[in-house]
Amino acid sequence: MRKINITGKDGELRIYSNGEAAIALEPGGTTYYFSVLFCEMDFTGPTSRPRTEERMVLDRGNFAAATSHFAEGPDDARVAPFPISFSCRVADTVNTRILTDILSSASSRINNTAGGASNFPSWDGDSAVTIDSITVPSFYDATKRTYRIEMLWDTSGSDHGFRYDSTYMTFGEQSIAESADGVMLNCSGMVYGDVTRITAFYSGTSILAFS
């Protein structure tokens, strides 16, 4: 599995809700996102999913060009969730209360700065979350919520980033530390969908603009 480790870059992170029009929580089909502008980013995660194992099959234990061949191993490695983690110093203007609500995955209703709340549905079990064109099934535990996470870095004037579909922010592993210098965000999660290279963000509506 190829991994990327980026430190000290400035950029933006967005957490997206599921805007599928067919689901009851968001009949209008609006995809909301929460945006975090960051500096001093420290991110670790893979740039692609691993492939299945190649197993050498020998001819009665003998290596022979005419009969030896490779066979594909189990799909476990291909479909297993993989970890991502990141920490960054965010600006004091970021609404840490909303960010905490999203990362805790405690509710599909997210309070916003307009004084109301917006639906922030999970991507868990959505048909858009696939691996090799096969839909990833829903969790057994319906209280677990997954979101699409996208990150873009400004690297020498060009945007570069990755999309991580159906990311579950593990309970008890997210923390925010505030100090006189700013707010430090430390997060870790497990990605159950695919990973895609991006140069622009997925379309959506900022949750801060709605009540």
Tens of pLDDT, residue by residue, the chain (211 residues): 544 545 556 678 888 888 654 444 444 567 888 887 776 667 788 888 888 899 999 988 888 878 889 998 888 988 999 999 887 776 655 566 677 777 776 656 665 555 566 677 788 888 888 888 888 998 888 878 888 999 888 766 677 889 999 999 887 788 877 777 777 778 889 999 999 999 889 888 887 654 3
Instruction: Supply the pTM of this predicted model.
Output: 0.78
Instruction: Tell me the CA distances in angstroms from 190 to 20, 23, 148, 163, 196, one per residue in order.
Output: 22, 24, 11, 13, 15
- Cβ within 8 Å of residue 122, ≥6 positions away: 17, 18, 105, 108, 144, 145, 146, 147
H/E stretch holding 74 reads none
pLDDT for position 107? 59
* Cα–Cα nearest to 157, from 10, 26, 29: 10
- Cβ within 8 Å of residue 161, ≥6 positions away: 11, 150, 151, 152, 153, 197, 198, 199
Residue 114 CA from chain centroid, whole number: 26
Helix, strand, coil percentages in the chain from 3-state DSSP, rounded to 5: 10, 50, 45
pLDDT for position 23? 43
- Cβ within 8 Å of residue 192, ≥6 positions away: 81, 129, 136, 146, 165, 166, 167, 168
User: Are the beta carbons of 204 and 210 closer than 8 angstroms?
Assistant: no
- Cβ within 8 Å of residue 156, ≥6 positions away: none
H/E stretch holding 93 reads none
CATH topology classification for 3-50+69-209: Pnp Oxidase; Chain A (2.30.110)
The structure tokens listed for 161 are 């980033």
Polymer length of the chain: 211
pLDDT for position 87? 79
Q: What one-letter code names the amino acid at 25?
A: L
